[in-house]
Amino acid sequence: MTAKKVLVVDDEIHIVHVVAIKLRNNGYEVITAANGAEAFDLLSSEKPDIVVTDLQMPVMTGLQLVEKIRRNEQTKDIPVILLTARNFAIDDKQKKDLQISDCLSKPFSPKELLRSIQDILYHKAVVQADR
């Protein structure tokens, strides 16, 4: 089974770095981006299985990125996890509309993030298997 690919997006290099190490140590393939625009470009070329993104970024914000992902036919089903210090920036309705799978607030635990990714990908696999 090919390793699942995770796209990690954050303008803070240390955050991206620590998440990448954690995920790679646990068998995931990781690609990274420093802002929403970079991330969106990588989506079409790399086709990740799940996206982990911050909200506050230059050029294109996390919210704008997710909106774009959902509008795009190719990417609309990719699950998204938000990882942000600004947890009040998004309300429950928005989370539902944008189909956000999980929202972790900073400071976060890499362990929890890993568990969340594992859960989401597991459920996605189950749903797909049922079809």
Partner 1 sequence: MKLRRNLYVIVTGIVAGSLLLGALAEWMDAGIGTASHFAGNAQNAALVVLMCRVVAAVGVIWLGWYALRLATTITSITRLLKNDKMADSARLGNTKKRRSSNVLAEELTRAINDRLDGYANQKRELEKQIKDLQIQVQLSQRQKRNTEAIIYSIRDAVIVVDEFDRLLMANEAAAELFNFDFVNSQHKPIAELVDPANGEFVDFLRQSRQRKLRHTRREIDFSKQTESKTFDCIVSCVHDQKNQVCGVVAVLHDVSREKEISQMKNDFVSHVSHELKTPLASITAYSEMLSDGEAEDEQTRKEFYSVIQNQAQRLNRLIEDILNISRIESGLVKIDKKPASLTMLIEEQLPMIKGYAEEKNVEVISQKPIVFDQVYADKDMLSQVVVNLLSNAVKYTPAGGSVKIETEVDETAATARVSVTDTGVGIPEDQVEHVFDKFYRVGANKTQAEGTGLGLNLVKQIVEKVHNGRVFVTSRPGVGSTFGFELPLATREKVEAL
Min dist CB 64 to partner 1, Å, is 14
Please pick, from the candidates 47, 86, 115, 123, the single residue that binds partner 1 as defined by CB under 8 A.
86
Place of tokens 């620590």: 18
Contacts with partner 1: how many residues (CB under 8 A)? 25
Of 67, 85, 109, the residue nearest 11 (C-alpha): 85
Among positions 5, 12, 29, 75, the unique one binding partner 1 when judged by CB under 8 A: 12
The interface mask with partner 1, positions 51-70, x = CB under 8 A, is: -----x-xx-----------
Q: How far is C-alpha 116 from the geometric centre of its chain's CA atoms?
A: 11
Provide the binding-site residues for partner 1, judged by CB under 8 A.
11-15, 17-19, 21-22, 25, 34-35, 56, 58-59, 85-86, 88, 106-111
